Amino acid sequence: MAKYITECKLNYHQSKKAGKIAIVTMDNGQLFNVPNTWGAEALESLNKVIDIVEKDADVKGWMLTGKPYIFNVGADIMSVDANAKRADALEIGMLGHKIFKRIMGLKIPTLAAINGAAMGGGVEVGLYHNYRTISRSPGGCDHYALPECFLGLVPGWGGTQLVTRLCGPEAAIELIIMNPLNMNKMINSKKAFEMGLADKLIAPAEFMDESLALLERIITGEEKIERKKSDPKMSDDLYNKTKAAIAGRVHSGALSPYRALDLIRGAAGWSLDEGFLKESEALADMIVSDQFKCGVYSFDLTQRRAKKLPGRPPKEVKGNKIAKIGVIGAGLMASQMALLFAQRYQCPVIMKDIKQEFVDKGLAYVRDQLAKSAKKGKMTETEAKWMGEELITGTVSYEPFKDCDFVIEAVFEEIAIKQKVFGELEAVCKPECLFLTNTSSLDIEAMGKNLKDPSRVVGFHFFNPIAVLPLVEIIKTSKTSDVVLATAFDIARKIKKTPVLVKNAPGFLVNRVLTAMSDGIFKCLDEGAGFLQTDNAMHEMGFPMSPFTLTALVGPAISLHVLETLNKAWPDRFAVNVGLKNLVAKGKKAILTFTDKGIDIDPEIAAGWPQGNKKFTDDEIRARVMERIAQEIDLILKEGVVASPKDVDTGVIMGAGWPFFMGGITPYLDQKGISKKVTGADFHPNGFLAIEK
């Protein structure tokens, strides 16, 4: 992997009224798709520039900015030695503080002109300046974040101390803790300005000129920046509420959010140097932790490896061009797909269902979502109307599908129904039209077996909610052509989803792993483990939601359907659970309910769930479930369902929201010795951070 070193380039602007101004530009010499980062060389480059400016008595002001569209996205996480000793890790934090603090020590006004994406150490270096301007979104600084807690770290170069002093503990908690725990949410320049993280919000076209003009006025005394004073002190109530909110997200699974909270809380009582030392110590602890190693692995999976589209046929195989899309079905899943395709492709999308009332309901959903987007300023009302009334249309006949380039079905999960739909489509669609299926577990080869050309069929399995979960499982049958497969990967990239290539096997990948997890849980319940105890024991590991909450979200009937599908293939491992079957027969939508004791097992479900009398500790429950997952992943890999443990982890991170700090799942299983216990070997025998060839 090529390494691009960011250099801090010093130039001067000779202002007629303000004198000589140092303009420092962070630039790695690449286009904007390779962002500026901080590494040892970049920090030393900044250090040398500060040396020069400090010695030049003629310099009256300092402005730091980035190359076009990019300010700085922080430390190059892939260059951090995940096997570093704590003393070396401590030096990383102390070096950043030492060099950045030199900006504070300059005897001239300093301004950070945040012209583009700013994250991590990029945000932090800006905080050491006297003043900050930020380029207005869209087109300016569209991504502003301190994402360290998402990666198993804490902001280690001033973030916890400086944001708290500048904007108060509430803003610091939002930016440093809650946003990363909310699927690494980024804010834009408008939000950053509103939070007090920047002094001026300037349109992109005038940004550099206006930022420089502001610095000139500050130097001459023509303008003074007024700021609302913030109290850095955190109340006990805010501390306890935030701690509870963290526990609600990750329970005790993730360490870094709790460390970050303590650093934010301490900011009011420590001197700046004391706070920086505490930050460096916390950063060092995190860098040597297993969770950071998993975070690096997860970051590499989702930010580098996934973008290479592993599994796509060679680039010489060109995918088909897409100018019109068909969707069979108008339910919630189908409507979400139609909306996404229209937004990304900006081409006609036709939805079909068996009754006009179903079509109308689907179109109403799409138009409502577009109206909400317009209200939030994500598109104009004219664009929303055009997309909802002209691009996305509905029908009850197949005739409009004749010129579609691909059609995806999202009808009832019965093989005969799906075979019928594909047969009817083949009668009207052009020969090169792809047939995609969103089935969650059915045999895709069987789905296309009656077609004249089964090579046009490929699985394209979304995860619900489509707008939130980025994964698409692309399922190749023995008949799927390379062109069809290449087109499926290209579709995934166009709609900004992460594809994983999966063999046509029952349950595919993610649902098979999740069902193995459920199987382990159900077996504990069957033997006598308490329902609430089991749910809490698993949630405590840091999964995004508890197992029973997930069952309620997916729907017990769907969970049973997937289990029955897997039972037909492997009855020895996936027994159809009697308790789950009884639950579905009674029409229950959730295992837990509100009782006079609070949240507890639904009494009717408990009565219909045969249980033994064995007592379990929480650790025993977790061990049993993790061992069951390890067993299934081992078989998935041996069967060639996916090519690599990295595909498994990409799947559970992007399709089920499993935590970065667990590396998805296989690094965690290796770290805890579970892989060796169950399979006799680690899933990553050379270490999960080994470079993939």
pLDDT digits (tens, 9 = 90+) for 85-100: 999 999 999 999 999 9
Rounded to two decimals, what is the model's pTM?
0.88
Mean of all residue pLDDT scores within the chain? 94
pLDDT, residue 135, reads 97
Distances in Å between the alpha carbon of 619 and those of 255, 533, 534, 676, 680?
A: 18, 11, 10, 18, 21
Say if CB 328 and CB 425 are below 8 A apart: yes
Span 330-354, pLDDT tens digits: 999 999 999 999 999 999 999 999 9
Q: Which two tokens stand for residue 629?
A: 């997952």
- CA angle 68/74/75 to nearest 5° reads 130
Residue 671 and residue 435: Cα distance in Å, rounded?
42
Span 560-616, pLDDT tens digits: 999 999 999 999 999 999 999 999 999 999 888 877 777 888 889 999 999 999 999
Question: DSSP letter at 430?
Answer: -
H helix intervals, 106-228: 121-127, 159-167, 169-173, 179-181, 189-195, 207-220
Span 112-171, pLDDT tens digits: 999 999 999 999 999 999 999 999 998 999 999 999 999 899 999 999 999 999 999 999
* Three-state secondary structure readout of 64-76: EEECCCEEECCEC
Q: Residue 350: phi, psi to the nearest 5?
A: -110, 130
In angstroms and rounded to an integer, the radius of gyration of the C-alpha atoms of the chain is 28
| Between 500 and 32, residue with greater pLDDT | 500
Residue 263 and residue 97: Cα distance in Å, rounded?
15
Mean pLDDT of 194-215: 97
Residue 32 and residue 79: Cα distance in Å, rounded?
20
pLDDT, residue 691, reads 59
CATH 1.10.1040.50 fits 510-640, yes or no: yes
pLDDT, residue 692, reads 59
542 pLDDT band, cuts 50/70/90, is confident
- From the list 296, 262, 284, 80, the residue with the least C-alpha distance to 177 is 262
Mean pLDDT of 234-250: 93
- Domain ranges in the chain? 7-288, 325-503, 510-640
Residue 502 and residue 476: Cα distance in Å, rounded?
7
Q: Which residues pair with 201 in a beta bridge?
A: 134
Residue 660 and residue 662: Cα distance in Å, rounded?
5
Span 181-200, pLDDT tens digits: 988 899 999 999 999 999 99
CATH 3.90.226.10 fits 7-288, yes or no: yes
Q: Which two tokens stand for residue 465?
A: 């909610």
Q: Which two tokens stand for residue 461?
A: 């399995």
Domain 325-503: which topology?
Rossmann fold (3.40.50)
- From the list 497, 454, 502, the residue with the least C-alpha distance to 475 is 502
Span 500-520, pLDDT tens digits: 999 999 999 999 999 999 999
Instruction: Tell me: pLDDT of 629 over 90.
Output: yes
Say if CB 508 and CB 641 are below 8 A apart: yes
pLDDT, residue 225, reads 94
Mean pLDDT of 306-311: 92
> What is the side-by-side order of every strand in the sheet holding 7-15?
7-15, 19-27, 59-66, 110-114, 131-135, 200-202
CA 623, 626, 632, 633: dihedral to nearest 10 degrees?
Answer: -140
Instruction: Tell me: pLDDT of 690 over 80.
Output: no
